[in-house]
Amino acid sequence: MNIVQLKDGVFEVGAVDWNQRSFHGYATPRGITYNAYLIMDEKITLIDTVKEPFADELLARIRQIVDPARIDYVVSNHAEPDHSGALPRVMQVASGAKVVTADPAGLKVISGHYGVEFDYLPVKAGQTLSLGRRELTFVATPMLHWPDNMVTWCPQERILFSNDAFGQHLATSQRFDEEQDLSVVMHETRTYYANILLPFGKQAQKVLKTVRELDPEIIAPSHGVIWRGHIPQVLSEYDHLASDEVEPKAVVVFDCMWGATEKMARTVVEGFARKGLKTRLFDLRVDALSDIMTELHKAEYLAIGSPTQNNTMMANVGALLTYYKGLKPGPKKAFGFGSFGWSGQAVGEINAFLESAGSQIVLDQAQTRLLYTPDAEKLAALEEAVASL
Ligand code: FEO
């Protein structure tokens, strides 16, 4: 099996999940990796494990370097099962190892998930653990994105083991950033941030400050490629992602029944384009919520369209708003739109949601809620209203 070496005695030993296309609903067309890192020192240390079905792959990679029974420490930076699922199996083999985890949040989550008592070494923020020639320092990053999250810093190697932070869902055999098309890695970095870390921008800003002070040579996340050649670029991208800045672009999202609301959606796109905005159109019948969230995270304008079905918005639009409510992208200049046959509540419901999420409604229902299939004159008026915003 392929073993990637980060530095002399520091290896990536995790698993590549080439065919996984969903991470609890987040579409992953390029697959996923669960990175784990082995440090060979007087105390042999594994940093994070992998998703449970990949436990044997993890152990097989470790076995090419050392008998896993000799592992002294297993550091759990984060207890979500994509990183801790293989922990019980690893601990069966490495029966003398201690599980190093954040005190008290990591301890609580791991024991809660697995219902087993490992030999724990709970660590507080800033605590240092000597491995022999090297040491590890633990940096708490609570709520980025679970209460237990921490990152692990190895000052002798200048490696930051960052877990979910700076990760991307990107399965690849070439594990360093400079071996990849940077535009693809950055796109997957933005997608990961928008769908996992977005509610926690303030925490991300604090972590960025700490990372800059540490000045790592390598940032080794637990998903995707390892940052080595483009660290300034990913830190700068995270500055932008974690800020309140928006970009001059618009996102138009819709579902429809018989085509009228789709005509309106295309008209709204033309209006935004006339305004000079880069605009993306998403059809909720075919597009993934995670791709929509990636685009709308930094969009200045957002328009959401739905006809009225059974006196409310269509179910796909409700799903989008639920996803939006949880991830909390910043305020937008926004409006709902849609056609209706008799009662027509959907647009008002969308507007009420957007307002409650802090957005400003920039087009009134009189312009965006149209009876039956709108004719050319009504569509032209809608386009003009959007272009004039
Ligand atoms: Fe990659 Fe929050 O787990």
pLDDT digits (tens, 9 = 90+) for 161-214: 999 999 999 999 999 999 999 999 999 999 999 999 999 999 999 999 999 999
What is the rounded average pLDDT of the residues 147-174?
97
Q: Which of 17, 37, 78, 301 is catalytic?
A: 78
Considering the domain architecture, whether residues 343 and 377 belong to the same structural domain is answered as yes
Considering the domain architecture, whether residues 319 and 183 belong to the same structural domain is answered as no
Reported as a pLDDT band with limits 50, 70 and 90, residue 119 is: very high
Considering the domain architecture, whether residues 274 and 370 belong to the same structural domain is answered as yes
164 lines ligand 1 (CB under 6 A): yes
Residues contacting residue 314 through CB under 8 Å, at least 6 positions apart: 255, 256, 257, 284, 306, 307, 346
Considering the domain architecture, whether residues 299 and 372 belong to the same structural domain is answered as yes
Compute the mean pLDDT over every residue in the chain, rounded to the nearest whole number: 97
Reported as a pLDDT band with limits 50, 70 and 90, residue 69 is: very high
Rounded Cα distance between 241 and 105, Å, is: 27
State yes or no: pLDDT of 114 exceeds 90: no
CA of 77 to the centre of ligand 1 (A): 10
Reported as a pLDDT band with limits 50, 70 and 90, residue 117 is: confident
User: Per this entry, what is the length of the chain?
Assistant: 389
Task: Report yes or no: 200 and 193 within 8 Å, Cβ to Cβ.
Answer: no
Q: Which residue, 184, 210, 241, sits at the end of a domain?
A: 241
Q: Domain total for the chain?
A: 2
Task: Report yes or no: 129 and 73 within 8 Å, Cβ to Cβ.
Answer: yes
Considering the domain architecture, whether residues 197 and 52 belong to the same structural domain is answered as yes
For ligand 1, what atom is nearest to the CA of residue 163?
1
Q: What is the CATH number of the domain that holds 264?
A: 3.40.50.360
51 lines ligand 1 (CB under 6 A): no
Q: For residue 200, give the nearest of 153, 147, 252 by alpha carbon.
A: 147
Rounded Cα distance between 241 and 300, Å, is: 14
Rounded Cα distance between 43 and 39, Å, is: 8
Q: Which residue, 241, 275, 298, sits at the end of a domain?
A: 241
Instruction: Give the other-Cβ count within 10 Å of 309's Cβ.
Output: 18
Considering the domain architecture, whether residues 154 and 186 belong to the same structural domain is answered as yes
Considering the domain architecture, whether residues 41 and 72 belong to the same structural domain is answered as yes
Considering the domain architecture, whether residues 278 and 223 belong to the same structural domain is answered as no
Rounded Cα distance between 295 and 184, Å, is: 15
Considering the domain architecture, whether residues 237 and 327 belong to the same structural domain is answered as no
Residue nearest to atom 3 of ligand 1 (CA): 80
Q: Which residue, 193, 223, 241, sits at the end of a domain?
A: 241
Residues contacting residue 70 through CB under 8 Å, at least 6 positions apart: 44, 94
273 residue type, one letter: A
Considering the domain architecture, whether residues 102 and 119 belong to the same structural domain is answered as yes
Considering the domain architecture, whether residues 289 and 219 belong to the same structural domain is answered as no
Rounded Cα distance between 139 and 137, Å, is: 7
Q: For residue 131, give the nearest of 107, 161, 110 by alpha carbon.
A: 161
Q: pLDDT tens digits, residue range 270-306?
A: 999 999 999 999 999 999 999 999 999 999 999 999 9
Q: What range does the domain containing 27 cover?
A: 4-241
Q: Characterize 223-253 residue by residue with b for buried, 16 or more Cβ atoms within 10 angstroms of its Cβ, and e for exposed.
A: bbbbbbebbeebbebbeebbeeebeebbbbb
0.95 surpassed by pTM? yes
Residue nearest to atom 1 of ligand 1 (CA): 164
CA of 347 to the centre of ligand 1 (A): 36
Strand partners for 17: 32
Strand 98-102 to strand 120-123: parallel, antiparallel, or no bridges (unpaired)? parallel
Considering the domain architecture, whether residues 100 and 78 belong to the same structural domain is answered as yes
Reported as a pLDDT band with limits 50, 70 and 90, residue 116 is: confident
What is the rounded average pLDDT of the residues 323-340?
97
Q: What is the CATH number of the domain that holds 136?
A: 3.60.15.10
Terminal-to-terminal C-alpha distance of the chain: 57
CA of 132 to the centre of ligand 1 (A): 29
Task: Report yes or no: 77 and 51 within 8 Å, Cβ to Cβ.
Answer: no
The sign of the dihedral angle between the CA atoms of 43, 48, 54, 57 is: negative
Task: Report yes or no: 296 and 245 within 8 Å, Cβ to Cβ.
Answer: no
